[in-house]
Amino acid sequence: MTNLHVEVVRVFTDPDGRFGNPLGIVDGSHVPEPDRQAVAAALGYSETVYVDEAATGTLRIYSATGEMPFAGHPTVGAAAYLHTHGHPVETLHVPAGLIPVTRSGDLFAVRADTTWGSTWDWQELPTPEDVLSATPSSYTAGHSFLWSWQDKPNGIIRARAFAPAMNVEEDEATGSAVTQLTAHLSRDLHIIQGAGSHLHTTWHPPTHATVGGRVLPEPPRTLSL
């Protein structure tokens, strides 16, 4: 039996450092590709990032059900992690393509094609209270994104996401989904998702958007293999 060191960050925290979506970050040289999905499943996060080359920002992203060419919360989290560990890369390399990285104050953001990512069932609800009262057990297949305007003039949305297709009952903060919503609404957004995570998007027509937020470290983990 061997022990695998796993770094952990919370991505898209609120301004007070609360909430956020946990992300596992693993040195890719320690886990061969055939084992990466199983390790991601054992860690239990919505996604785990494998850093194959830190200096160039070369990453692979896995959920419990398989590899993902692109995902928002892993790329934002990895960009912040690499920056704080001596690799302030301006571009991430993932299977879907090149991902430009920007930083403004304590916000890290990535820019991606809004056609990337999972296919979502979009459900606009009348009020934020309707979003908050939704029951995850009512969503047993696919990917469902529930949202409502909280402050339409200022672009603030209340949202929740359920992804049983990825073995994720509720995804706390879903970066690629909100880039798609940004394209659908054709405007910059501030999304408050899940228990209270904050995601900020900027629309770059015709096909791109940035998604960003705050990233904070968590205590590392050790996984026995």
Digit-coded pLDDT (tens) for 55-104: 999 999 999 999 999 999 999 999 999 999 999 999 999 999 999 999 99
In angstroms, the CA 180 to CA 170 distance is 18
pLDDT at 1 over 80: no
Backbone angle region of 194, left / alpha / beta, with phi > 0 → left and psi within -120 to 50 → alpha: left
Predicted confidence at residue 101, as pLDDT, reads 98
Name beta bridge partners: 122. Answer: 145
Q: Are 212 and 73 in contact (CB under 8 A)?
A: no
Q: Are 181 and 173 in contact (CB under 8 A)?
A: no
**What average pLDDT does the segment 32-54 reach?**
97
The token pair at 28 is: 């890719």
Predicted confidence at residue 74, as pLDDT, reads 97
Q: What is the overall mean pLDDT for the chain?
A: 96
Nearest to 99 by CA among 121, 77, 119: 77
The token pair at 14 is: 């609120």
Q: How many Cβ atoms sit within 10 Å of the Cβ of residue 127?
A: 12
Nearest to 20 by CA among 70, 73, 71: 73
**What average pLDDT does the segment 187-194 reach?**
98
Predicted confidence at residue 165, as pLDDT, reads 86
Note the pTM of the prediction, 2 decimals: 0.95
**What average pLDDT does the segment 22-33 reach?**
97
Percentage of residues of the chain with pLDDT beyond 90: 94
SS3 202: strand
Supply the DSSP string of 84-115, one letter for each residue.
HTT---SEEEETTEEEEEEEETTEEEEEEETT
Phi, psi of 116 (to 5 degrees): -80, 165
In angstroms, the CA 76 to CA 72 distance is 6
In angstroms, the CA 70 to CA 93 distance is 10
pLDDT at 117 over 90: no
CA 209-8-45 angle, 5° bins: 70
Alpha helical stretches, state H, the chain: 33-43, 72-84, 128-132, 175-185
Indicate the CATH number of 121-212 among 3.10.310.10, 3.40.190.10, 2.40.50.140, 2.60.40.60: 3.10.310.10
Least confident interval from 17-21, 32-36, 51-55, 135-139: 135-139
Instruction: Note the residue count of the chain.
Output: 225
Predicted confidence at residue 225, as pLDDT, reads 84
Q: Which residues contact 114 (CB under 8 A, 6 or more apart)?
A: 179, 180, 182, 183, 207, 208, 209
**CATH code given to domain 3-103+214-224:** 3.10.310.10
Q: Are 175 and 152 in contact (CB under 8 A)?
A: no
For the chain, give every residue range classified as CATH 3.10.310.10: 3-103+214-224, 121-212
